[in-house]
Amino acid sequence: MWRTLPLLTALAGALWAESLPLDPAALAARAATAYRNGHLREARQLYEQALTQQPRFAPALSGLARLDQAEHQRPAAERRWAQAYQANPNDPEIVREYASAAADPTLEATLLQRLIRLPSTPSETRLYAQWRITLHQKLGGRIINQLRSAYQPYRLRMPLAQTDQWRPHGWSLRVSFNGHRPLRLLLDTGARGILLSTRLAATLGLEPLSDALVGGFGEGQRQTATSLLAARVTIDDQLELGNVIVEAAPQRFVQGIDGLISPALFSHFLITCHGRKKQLELTPFPGHQGHEGASDRPWASHQPPALAAGFTPYRRLGHLLLLEDGNEKQFVLDSGAGYSIVHETLPSLNARTVALQGASGNLLANRPEMPAHFTLPGLDSWTPEVVAMNLTPVSEAFGVRLSGFLGFPIWKNRELTLDPRNGSYRIR
Protein backbone atom coordinates (compact mmCIF):
# COMPACT_ATOMS: atom_id res chain seq x y z
CA MET A 1 0.00 0.00 0.00
CA TRP A 2 2.80 2.38 0.97
CA ARG A 3 4.35 1.87 -2.47
CA THR A 4 1.22 3.15 -4.15
CA LEU A 5 1.04 6.28 -2.01
CA PRO A 6 3.49 8.36 -4.14
CA LEU A 7 1.60 7.39 -7.29
CA LEU A 8 -1.73 8.38 -5.77
CA THR A 9 -0.23 11.63 -4.53
CA ALA A 10 1.11 12.44 -7.99
CA LEU A 11 -2.25 11.60 -9.57
CA ALA A 12 -4.09 13.77 -7.07
CA GLY A 13 -1.65 16.60 -7.75
CA ALA A 14 -2.19 16.31 -11.51
CA LEU A 15 -5.97 16.36 -11.12
CA TRP A 16 -5.74 19.36 -8.78
CA ALA A 17 -3.52 21.18 -11.28
CA GLU A 18 -5.97 20.52 -14.12
CA SER A 19 -8.78 21.99 -12.00
CA LEU A 20 -6.91 25.29 -11.60
CA PRO A 21 -7.83 28.11 -14.00
CA LEU A 22 -5.35 28.44 -16.84
CA ASP A 23 -3.30 31.61 -17.16
CA PRO A 24 -3.47 33.72 -20.37
CA ALA A 25 -0.31 32.17 -21.82
CA ALA A 26 -1.63 28.62 -21.36
CA LEU A 27 -5.02 29.55 -22.81
CA ALA A 28 -3.40 31.21 -25.83
CA ALA A 29 -1.18 28.16 -26.35
CA ARG A 30 -4.25 25.90 -26.33
CA ALA A 31 -6.01 28.28 -28.72
CA ALA A 32 -3.05 28.22 -31.11
CA THR A 33 -3.12 24.42 -31.09
CA ALA A 34 -6.86 24.41 -31.77
CA TYR A 35 -6.32 26.85 -34.65
CA ARG A 36 -3.59 24.69 -36.19
CA ASN A 37 -5.88 21.64 -35.91
CA GLY A 38 -8.69 23.47 -37.73
CA HIS A 39 -10.93 23.88 -34.66
CA LEU A 40 -11.42 27.57 -35.24
CA ARG A 41 -14.47 28.15 -33.03
CA GLU A 42 -12.69 26.55 -30.07
CA ALA A 43 -9.65 28.73 -30.79
CA ARG A 44 -11.79 31.86 -30.65
CA GLN A 45 -13.33 30.88 -27.31
CA LEU A 46 -9.93 30.20 -25.76
CA TYR A 47 -8.42 33.45 -27.03
CA GLU A 48 -11.41 35.41 -25.68
CA GLN A 49 -11.04 33.65 -22.35
CA ALA A 50 -7.38 34.68 -22.22
CA LEU A 51 -8.34 38.32 -22.83
CA THR A 52 -10.79 38.32 -19.94
CA GLN A 53 -7.79 37.69 -17.69
CA GLN A 54 -5.32 40.00 -19.45
CA PRO A 55 -6.96 42.46 -21.90
CA ARG A 56 -3.64 43.56 -23.48
CA PHE A 57 -2.20 40.07 -24.01
CA ALA A 58 -0.63 40.25 -27.49
CA PRO A 59 -0.83 36.52 -28.43
CA ALA A 60 -4.58 36.47 -27.74
CA LEU A 61 -5.19 39.77 -29.53
CA SER A 62 -3.26 38.64 -32.61
CA GLY A 63 -5.02 35.24 -32.57
CA LEU A 64 -8.44 36.88 -32.55
CA ALA A 65 -7.34 39.36 -35.22
CA ARG A 66 -6.32 36.46 -37.44
CA LEU A 67 -9.72 34.81 -36.94
CA ASP A 68 -11.56 38.10 -37.59
CA GLN A 69 -9.55 38.53 -40.76
CA ALA A 70 -10.38 34.99 -41.93
CA GLU A 71 -14.07 35.59 -41.22
CA HIS A 72 -14.23 38.90 -43.14
CA GLN A 73 -14.66 41.08 -40.04
CA ARG A 74 -12.49 43.82 -41.49
CA PRO A 75 -12.80 46.66 -38.93
CA ALA A 76 -12.54 44.24 -35.99
CA ALA A 77 -9.39 42.66 -37.47
CA GLU A 78 -7.66 46.01 -37.96
CA ARG A 79 -8.64 47.15 -34.46
CA ARG A 80 -7.26 43.98 -32.83
CA TRP A 81 -4.04 44.10 -34.85
CA ALA A 82 -3.59 47.70 -33.68
CA GLN A 83 -4.06 46.59 -30.06
CA ALA A 84 -1.63 43.69 -30.52
CA TYR A 85 0.91 46.08 -32.05
CA GLN A 86 0.58 48.47 -29.12
CA ALA A 87 1.18 45.53 -26.76
CA ASN A 88 4.19 44.18 -28.71
CA PRO A 89 5.51 46.49 -31.47
CA ASN A 90 8.66 44.40 -31.98
CA ASP A 91 6.99 41.17 -33.13
CA PRO A 92 7.56 40.95 -36.93
CA GLU A 93 4.48 38.79 -37.46
CA ILE A 94 2.23 41.28 -35.66
CA VAL A 95 3.75 44.21 -37.58
CA ARG A 96 3.31 42.44 -40.91
CA GLU A 97 -0.30 41.43 -40.25
CA TYR A 98 -1.20 44.88 -38.95
CA ALA A 99 0.25 46.37 -42.13
CA SER A 100 -1.75 43.96 -44.28
CA ALA A 101 -4.97 44.85 -42.43
CA ALA A 102 -4.45 48.62 -42.50
CA ALA A 103 -7.00 50.41 -44.66
CA ASP A 104 -4.83 53.57 -44.70
CA PRO A 105 -1.97 53.25 -47.25
CA THR A 106 0.19 55.70 -45.26
CA LEU A 107 -0.14 53.58 -42.12
CA GLU A 108 0.67 50.46 -44.12
CA ALA A 109 3.83 52.06 -45.53
CA THR A 110 4.96 53.18 -42.06
CA LEU A 111 4.49 49.69 -40.64
CA LEU A 112 6.29 48.08 -43.58
CA GLN A 113 9.28 50.38 -43.07
CA ARG A 114 9.38 49.34 -39.41
CA LEU A 115 9.16 45.70 -40.47
CA ILE A 116 12.26 46.11 -42.63
CA ARG A 117 14.19 47.77 -39.79
CA LEU A 118 13.37 45.16 -37.13
CA PRO A 119 16.44 42.92 -36.72
CA SER A 120 14.27 39.85 -36.01
CA THR A 121 12.33 40.08 -39.30
CA PRO A 122 12.86 36.94 -41.44
CA SER A 123 14.38 37.53 -44.86
CA GLU A 124 11.25 36.41 -46.73
CA THR A 125 9.08 38.77 -44.66
CA ARG A 126 11.53 41.60 -45.37
CA LEU A 127 11.23 40.83 -49.09
CA TYR A 128 7.42 40.96 -48.78
CA ALA A 129 7.62 44.36 -47.09
CA GLN A 130 9.92 45.74 -49.77
CA TRP A 131 7.60 44.36 -52.46
CA ARG A 132 4.59 46.19 -50.97
CA ILE A 133 6.53 49.44 -50.57
CA THR A 134 7.86 49.35 -54.13
CA LEU A 135 4.40 48.41 -55.39
CA HIS A 136 2.82 51.49 -53.81
CA GLN A 137 5.60 53.73 -55.09
CA LYS A 138 5.33 52.45 -58.66
CA LEU A 139 1.53 52.59 -58.65
CA GLY A 140 1.55 56.24 -57.59
CA GLY A 141 -2.04 56.23 -56.38
CA ARG A 142 -3.52 54.40 -59.37
CA ILE A 143 -6.59 52.31 -58.50
CA ILE A 144 -5.97 48.58 -58.88
CA ASN A 145 -8.41 46.40 -60.85
CA GLN A 146 -10.58 49.36 -61.71
CA LEU A 147 -13.70 48.56 -63.71
CA ARG A 148 -13.47 50.41 -67.03
CA SER A 149 -16.51 48.92 -68.75
CA ALA A 150 -20.09 49.53 -67.59
CA TYR A 151 -21.22 48.33 -64.15
CA GLN A 152 -23.83 45.95 -65.50
CA PRO A 153 -24.54 42.20 -65.60
CA TYR A 154 -22.04 40.13 -67.58
CA ARG A 155 -22.26 36.59 -68.92
CA LEU A 156 -18.79 35.50 -69.90
CA ARG A 157 -18.07 32.33 -71.85
CA MET A 158 -16.22 29.81 -69.76
CA PRO A 159 -15.22 26.83 -71.97
CA LEU A 160 -13.58 23.74 -70.55
CA ALA A 161 -9.81 23.48 -70.51
CA GLN A 162 -8.73 20.03 -71.71
CA THR A 163 -5.51 18.21 -70.89
CA ASP A 164 -3.52 16.25 -73.43
CA GLN A 165 -5.68 13.21 -72.50
CA TRP A 166 -8.79 15.26 -73.38
CA ARG A 167 -9.77 15.22 -69.74
CA PRO A 168 -11.45 18.44 -68.47
CA HIS A 169 -9.08 20.26 -66.12
CA GLY A 170 -11.14 23.36 -65.37
CA TRP A 171 -12.87 26.36 -66.85
CA SER A 172 -11.02 28.92 -68.95
CA LEU A 173 -11.52 32.57 -69.84
CA ARG A 174 -10.31 34.48 -72.90
CA VAL A 175 -8.22 37.36 -71.55
CA SER A 176 -6.46 40.07 -73.53
CA PHE A 177 -3.67 42.26 -72.10
CA ASN A 178 -3.12 45.76 -73.50
CA GLY A 179 -4.92 44.86 -76.72
CA HIS A 180 -2.76 41.80 -77.54
CA ARG A 181 -4.23 38.56 -78.82
CA PRO A 182 -6.43 36.80 -76.23
CA LEU A 183 -4.88 34.19 -73.96
CA ARG A 184 -6.62 31.24 -72.31
CA LEU A 185 -6.39 31.54 -68.53
CA LEU A 186 -7.61 28.89 -66.10
CA LEU A 187 -10.25 30.21 -63.68
CA ASP A 188 -8.60 29.23 -60.40
CA THR A 189 -10.09 29.98 -56.98
CA GLY A 190 -6.76 28.80 -55.55
CA ALA A 191 -4.82 31.62 -57.27
CA ARG A 192 -4.24 35.04 -55.75
CA GLY A 193 -4.49 37.05 -58.96
CA ILE A 194 -3.17 36.58 -62.50
CA LEU A 195 -0.12 34.39 -63.06
CA LEU A 196 1.66 34.04 -66.41
CA SER A 197 4.92 32.50 -67.51
CA THR A 198 7.85 34.90 -67.67
CA ARG A 199 8.35 34.16 -71.37
CA LEU A 200 4.75 34.95 -72.28
CA ALA A 201 4.48 38.03 -70.06
CA ALA A 202 7.51 39.54 -71.82
CA THR A 203 5.50 39.78 -75.07
CA LEU A 204 2.58 41.79 -73.64
CA GLY A 205 4.07 45.23 -73.02
CA LEU A 206 3.48 45.16 -69.25
CA GLU A 207 4.92 47.75 -66.89
CA PRO A 208 7.50 46.35 -64.40
CA LEU A 209 6.67 46.97 -60.74
CA SER A 210 8.73 44.87 -58.32
CA ASP A 211 9.94 41.42 -57.39
CA ALA A 212 7.54 39.01 -55.64
CA LEU A 213 7.27 35.42 -54.45
CA VAL A 214 4.85 32.79 -55.71
CA GLY A 215 4.31 29.26 -54.46
CA GLY A 216 1.89 26.38 -54.32
CA PHE A 217 1.80 22.64 -54.82
CA GLY A 218 4.92 20.99 -56.12
CA GLU A 219 8.34 19.80 -55.19
CA GLY A 220 9.97 23.21 -55.52
CA GLN A 221 10.09 26.03 -52.98
CA ARG A 222 8.45 29.45 -53.30
CA GLN A 223 10.07 31.05 -56.31
CA THR A 224 10.93 34.59 -57.24
CA ALA A 225 8.48 36.22 -59.60
CA THR A 226 8.01 39.67 -61.09
CA SER A 227 5.01 41.90 -60.45
CA LEU A 228 3.90 43.72 -63.60
CA LEU A 229 1.06 46.09 -64.40
CA ALA A 230 -1.36 45.71 -67.29
CA ALA A 231 -2.92 49.05 -68.18
CA ARG A 232 -5.90 47.29 -69.74
CA VAL A 233 -7.29 43.77 -69.38
CA THR A 234 -10.29 42.64 -71.43
CA ILE A 235 -12.18 39.43 -70.67
CA ASP A 236 -14.26 37.68 -73.33
CA ASP A 237 -14.36 40.96 -75.33
CA GLN A 238 -16.85 42.35 -72.77
CA LEU A 239 -15.52 43.14 -69.32
CA GLU A 240 -12.62 45.61 -69.12
CA LEU A 241 -10.42 46.29 -66.08
CA GLY A 242 -7.66 48.86 -65.70
CA ASN A 243 -4.38 48.70 -63.78
CA VAL A 244 -4.31 44.97 -63.14
CA ILE A 245 -1.33 43.42 -61.36
CA VAL A 246 0.13 40.40 -63.16
CA GLU A 247 2.70 38.06 -61.66
CA ALA A 248 5.19 36.40 -63.99
CA ALA A 249 7.27 33.37 -63.01
CA PRO A 250 9.27 30.65 -64.80
CA GLN A 251 6.18 28.52 -64.96
CA ARG A 252 4.68 25.68 -66.98
CA PHE A 253 0.94 25.15 -67.20
CA VAL A 254 -1.20 22.27 -68.40
CA GLN A 255 -1.51 21.95 -72.15
CA GLY A 256 -3.77 24.57 -73.73
CA ILE A 257 -3.58 26.98 -70.78
CA ASP A 258 -1.51 30.18 -70.81
CA GLY A 259 -1.88 31.11 -67.14
CA LEU A 260 -4.17 31.45 -64.13
CA ILE A 261 -6.79 34.03 -63.17
CA SER A 262 -8.49 34.34 -59.78
CA PRO A 263 -12.18 35.25 -59.33
CA ALA A 264 -10.92 37.85 -56.79
CA LEU A 265 -10.52 40.20 -59.77
CA PHE A 266 -14.30 40.27 -60.09
CA SER A 267 -15.06 41.29 -56.49
CA HIS A 268 -17.05 44.25 -57.81
CA PHE A 269 -19.77 41.63 -58.49
CA LEU A 270 -21.66 38.64 -57.18
CA ILE A 271 -19.85 35.79 -58.98
CA THR A 272 -21.66 32.70 -60.28
CA CYS A 273 -20.00 29.83 -62.13
CA HIS A 274 -22.67 27.96 -64.11
CA GLY A 275 -20.91 24.65 -64.65
CA ARG A 276 -23.35 23.07 -67.09
CA LYS A 277 -23.78 26.27 -69.09
CA LYS A 278 -20.01 26.92 -69.06
CA GLN A 279 -20.78 30.51 -68.23
CA LEU A 280 -19.44 32.98 -65.65
CA GLU A 281 -22.21 35.33 -64.53
CA LEU A 282 -21.31 38.63 -62.83
CA THR A 283 -24.15 40.46 -61.09
CA PRO A 284 -23.81 44.07 -59.82
CA PHE A 285 -24.51 44.74 -56.14
CA PRO A 286 -27.45 47.08 -55.49
CA GLY A 287 -26.34 50.54 -54.46
CA HIS A 288 -22.78 50.17 -55.80
CA GLN A 289 -21.29 51.98 -58.77
CA GLY A 290 -18.34 49.68 -59.46
CA HIS A 291 -15.84 52.55 -59.62
CA GLU A 292 -13.97 51.87 -56.39
CA GLY A 293 -11.80 49.06 -57.77
CA ALA A 294 -11.39 45.50 -56.56
CA SER A 295 -8.69 45.55 -53.91
CA ASP A 296 -5.70 43.23 -54.07
CA ARG A 297 -6.65 42.63 -50.40
CA PRO A 298 -10.45 42.33 -50.69
CA TRP A 299 -11.02 42.04 -46.93
CA ALA A 300 -9.10 45.18 -46.03
CA SER A 301 -11.52 48.07 -45.84
CA HIS A 302 -15.23 47.60 -45.21
CA GLN A 303 -17.84 46.03 -42.96
CA PRO A 304 -19.51 43.06 -44.73
CA PRO A 305 -23.30 42.98 -45.12
CA ALA A 306 -25.48 40.26 -43.66
CA LEU A 307 -25.63 36.85 -45.36
CA ALA A 308 -28.31 36.34 -47.98
CA ALA A 309 -30.69 33.39 -47.68
CA GLY A 310 -29.12 30.12 -48.78
CA PHE A 311 -25.54 31.38 -48.42
CA THR A 312 -22.92 29.90 -46.09
CA PRO A 313 -19.81 31.73 -44.81
CA TYR A 314 -16.39 30.72 -46.06
CA ARG A 315 -13.12 31.71 -44.43
CA ARG A 316 -10.16 33.30 -46.15
CA LEU A 317 -6.74 31.83 -45.41
CA GLY A 318 -4.37 34.17 -47.21
CA HIS A 319 -5.72 33.97 -50.76
CA LEU A 320 -7.30 30.52 -50.22
CA LEU A 321 -11.03 30.06 -49.60
CA LEU A 322 -11.85 27.58 -46.83
CA LEU A 323 -15.13 25.67 -46.71
CA GLU A 324 -15.93 23.82 -43.48
CA ASP A 325 -17.96 20.61 -43.31
CA GLY A 326 -20.11 19.48 -40.38
CA ASN A 327 -17.12 17.86 -38.67
CA GLU A 328 -15.03 21.06 -38.58
CA LYS A 329 -12.80 19.81 -41.37
CA GLN A 330 -11.34 22.55 -43.52
CA PHE A 331 -11.40 22.16 -47.32
CA VAL A 332 -9.88 24.53 -49.87
CA LEU A 333 -12.11 25.59 -52.75
CA ASP A 334 -9.83 25.00 -55.74
CA SER A 335 -11.57 25.22 -59.11
CA GLY A 336 -8.22 25.10 -60.90
CA ALA A 337 -7.31 21.62 -59.63
CA GLY A 338 -7.87 18.74 -62.06
CA TYR A 339 -8.59 16.39 -59.13
CA SER A 340 -9.95 16.78 -55.65
CA ILE A 341 -7.37 15.97 -53.01
CA VAL A 342 -7.83 14.28 -49.63
CA HIS A 343 -5.30 14.10 -46.83
CA GLU A 344 -3.65 10.72 -46.38
CA THR A 345 -0.44 10.15 -44.44
CA LEU A 346 0.10 6.61 -45.76
CA PRO A 347 -0.89 5.51 -49.29
CA SER A 348 -3.56 2.85 -49.69
CA LEU A 349 -2.29 -0.54 -50.79
CA ASN A 350 -4.58 -0.53 -53.84
CA ALA A 351 -3.74 3.02 -54.95
CA ARG A 352 -1.88 3.83 -58.14
CA THR A 353 0.54 6.71 -58.54
CA VAL A 354 -0.37 9.76 -60.65
CA ALA A 355 1.69 12.85 -61.49
CA LEU A 356 0.28 16.29 -60.75
CA GLN A 357 1.56 19.65 -61.93
CA GLY A 358 1.55 22.36 -59.28
CA ALA A 359 2.58 25.99 -59.03
CA SER A 360 5.96 24.98 -57.58
CA GLY A 361 6.66 22.02 -59.83
CA ASN A 362 5.52 18.46 -60.32
CA LEU A 363 4.63 16.05 -57.53
CA LEU A 364 3.28 12.53 -57.12
CA ALA A 365 -0.03 11.57 -55.51
CA ASN A 366 -1.98 8.34 -55.07
CA ARG A 367 -5.17 7.60 -56.95
CA PRO A 368 -7.36 5.38 -54.72
CA GLU A 369 -9.80 2.95 -56.32
CA MET A 370 -12.65 4.00 -54.02
CA PRO A 371 -14.43 7.34 -54.59
CA ALA A 372 -14.38 10.05 -51.93
CA HIS A 373 -17.45 11.51 -50.24
CA PHE A 374 -17.76 15.26 -49.58
CA THR A 375 -20.61 16.81 -47.59
CA LEU A 376 -21.03 20.58 -47.35
CA PRO A 377 -24.06 22.90 -47.31
CA GLY A 378 -25.69 22.32 -50.70
CA LEU A 379 -23.20 19.60 -51.61
CA ASP A 380 -23.44 15.86 -50.96
CA SER A 381 -21.20 14.25 -53.52
CA TRP A 382 -19.27 11.08 -54.24
CA THR A 383 -16.48 11.61 -56.75
CA PRO A 384 -14.01 9.15 -58.27
CA GLU A 385 -11.87 12.08 -59.53
CA VAL A 386 -9.81 12.21 -56.36
CA VAL A 387 -6.19 11.71 -55.33
CA ALA A 388 -4.70 11.23 -51.87
CA MET A 389 -1.51 12.74 -50.52
CA ASN A 390 0.05 13.94 -47.30
CA LEU A 391 -1.13 17.53 -46.88
CA THR A 392 0.82 18.12 -43.68
CA PRO A 393 3.51 20.33 -45.34
CA VAL A 394 0.81 22.47 -46.97
CA SER A 395 -1.12 22.71 -43.68
CA GLU A 396 2.03 23.77 -41.86
CA ALA A 397 2.74 26.44 -44.47
CA PHE A 398 -0.71 28.00 -44.01
CA GLY A 399 -0.96 27.31 -40.27
CA VAL A 400 -4.26 25.39 -40.35
CA ARG A 401 -4.83 21.67 -40.80
CA LEU A 402 -6.34 21.11 -44.25
CA SER A 403 -8.41 17.99 -44.90
CA GLY A 404 -8.50 18.37 -48.65
CA PHE A 405 -8.91 20.45 -51.78
CA LEU A 406 -12.25 20.51 -53.62
CA GLY A 407 -11.15 20.42 -57.24
CA PHE A 408 -12.84 21.11 -60.54
CA PRO A 409 -14.60 17.71 -60.97
CA ILE A 410 -16.90 18.57 -58.06
CA TRP A 411 -17.93 21.89 -59.58
CA LYS A 412 -18.10 21.17 -63.31
CA ASN A 413 -21.85 20.33 -63.32
CA ARG A 414 -22.92 22.59 -60.47
CA GLU A 415 -23.75 26.23 -59.91
CA LEU A 416 -21.30 27.88 -57.51
CA THR A 417 -21.93 31.45 -56.33
CA LEU A 418 -19.42 33.55 -54.37
CA ASP A 419 -20.29 36.78 -52.56
CA PRO A 420 -16.93 38.50 -51.98
CA ARG A 421 -18.49 41.31 -49.90
CA ASN A 422 -19.13 39.11 -46.88
CA GLY A 423 -17.23 35.93 -47.73
CA SER A 424 -20.10 33.56 -48.42
CA TYR A 425 -21.00 30.92 -50.99
CA ARG A 426 -23.95 28.95 -52.31
CA ILE A 427 -23.94 25.61 -54.14
CA ARG A 428 -26.80 24.44 -56.35
| Domains detected in the chain | 23-139 (1.25.40.10), 146-284 (2.40.70.10), 312-427 (2.40.70)
Q: What is the pLDDT of residue 293?
A: 55
Q: Which residue has the higher pLDDT, 128 or 183?
A: 183
Q: What would the mean pLDDT of 316-343 be, rounded to a whole number? A: 91
pTM of the model: 0.86
Q: What is the pLDDT of residue 162?
A: 74
Q: Express each pLDDT in 260-296 by its tens digit.
A: 999 999 999 999 999 999 999 999 998 877 665 555 4
CA-wise closest residue to 407 among 275, 315, 319: 275
Q: Express each pLDDT in 301-315 by its tens digit.
A: 456 777 888 999 999
pLDDT bin (cut points 50, 70, 90) of residue 417 is very high
Query: Which segment of 104-113, 130-139, 334-343, 349-358 scores lowest on mean pLDDT?
Result: 349-358
Q: Which residue has the higher pLDDT, 72 or 370?
A: 72
Q: What CA dihedral angle connects 384, 412, 330 and 420, to 10 degrees? A: 180
Q: What is the pLDDT of residue 220?
A: 40
Q: What would the mean pLDDT of 41-63 be, rounded to a whole number? A: 96
Q: What is the pLDDT of residue 28?
A: 95
**Dist. CA 252–CA 244, nearest whole Å:** 22
